[in-house]
Structure 1
Amino acid sequence: MDELALVVATPFKKKATSSLSIKDFEFALSFDLKWMAPDHASKVRDKAISSRLLRLEGDKLAPTFAIENIELPQGFKPSGDIFTEKTPIEELISQIAMKTGKGEKEAIVEINSLQERLGDMVEIEIAALIVAREKGCDVESTYQKIYDKVLSKE
């Protein structure tokens, strides 16, 4: 399971709700769970929105995935890795895994399988885009990054 998704799901699961105010979400990460400083909680919120794990509905945040399917490992604490930027293909793999409820390894297998079926005529990122779209993922945020990367190759 994607670490960012676990972090995002936790405040909603702990409070048994489907939406939280921005303040309550950040407060839960910073003070209730004692996982991070308030400024880092704001960064997690922004990253979750841009990754489409959270959506803003008025002044409330709501997860875009089924939090009831998330199992929180006992003693879970986020690593500092959630603040590092993912590559476009890593974003797509996470989205596919979240949408299908399967692991990231299964998403990678499916992407590789599609690329092989296409005779390796497409870049792996394009295969990932195709699989993500087939699974109903919103690829808008990663499409331009992949488009730029593939076209910049010589």
Structure 2
Amino acid sequence: MDSEAKIILAFLFNRSGKTLLSEAELYLPLSMELGWLSSKESQQFVKYVLKKELLVRKEGMLSPNFSIDDIKIPVGFIPSKKTFSETSDDLKGRNCIEEIITQISEHVHQEKTKIAEEIKKEGKEKNLLAEVAALSVARKHGVDVSEWYPFVETIFFTENKG
């Protein structure tokens, strides 16, 4: 995936003629101009490449963490859908609630059991799915868990049919 992600990034940076781009300058071409992704998927892709450290932040902008000149972009390049599904599949198989508890715990320096209790209480008081309660508690503590939104959204819509 990373090699195709590098090709996508090299393509976007070469196309723009810039060495620094904003997040919007990356995800808008992917969705609006090229039509390769939905806007949500393209934003997810940007988060994914940041997490994989293929991009780095410089002066509030994003820059490739590799030489785009070394990347060969095939003529007529169109990324495979597999590339983009891997950005969200990366989260599957991981325990969502446990991961969020860990992130909150590390951020606020509290024991995981206390965080788990807070999530349980939040879910009970507001009648929320445990995953949604975990996101709510994370937000309350100022922890960015936006990478989990699409995953939890999928759970929400598959478990609440009816």
Superposition deviation, residue 32 in structure 1: 2.2
Alignment-derived partner of residue 82 in structure 2: 81
User: After superposition, what is the alpha-carbon deviation per residue over 1:73-130, rounded to whole angstroms, capped at 9, x for unaligned?
Assistant: 11111112223146xxxxxxxxxxxxxxxxxxxxxxxxxxxxxxxxxxxxxxxxxxxx
User: Are 1:39 and 2:23 an aligned pair?
Assistant: no
TM-score w.r.t. the length of structure 1 is 0.51
1:20, distance to aligned residue in structure 2 (A):
0.4
Comparing 23-32 and 41-50, the one that deviates more: 23-32
> Shift of the alpha carbon at 1:59?
2.5
Which has the higher Rg, Structure 1 or Structure 2?
2
Counterpart position of 1:72: 73
**1:22 and 1:59 in contact (8 A); partners too:** no
* Identity across the alignment (%): 24
The alignment's TM-score, normalised by the length of structure 2, stands at 0.49
1-structure distance, mates of 2:11, 2:29: 9
User: In the aligned structure 1, how far is the partner of 2:40 from the partner of 2:60?
Assistant: 19
1:15 matched residue in structure 2: 16
The Cα of 1:57 is off from its aligned counterpart by 2.2
Q: Is the 8 A contact 1:54 1:61 kept in 2?
A: yes
Q: 1: distance between equivalents of 2:35 and 2:16?
A: 15
Q: How many residues align?
A: 87
Structure 2 Cα separation of the partners of residues 68 and 28 of structure 1: 20
Secondary structure of the residue aligned to 1:2 is: helix
Q: How far off is 1:28 after superposition?
A: 1.6
Question: After superposition, what is the alpha-carbon deviation per residue over 1:27-76, rounded to whole angstroms, capped at 9, x for unaligned?
Answer: 12112222111111111101101111011224311100000111211111
RMSD of equivalent CA atoms: 2.0
Residue aligned with 1:20, SS: coil
Q: Is the 8 A contact 1:22 1:61 kept in 2?
A: yes
Unaligned residue ranges in structure 2 (runs of 5+): 91-162
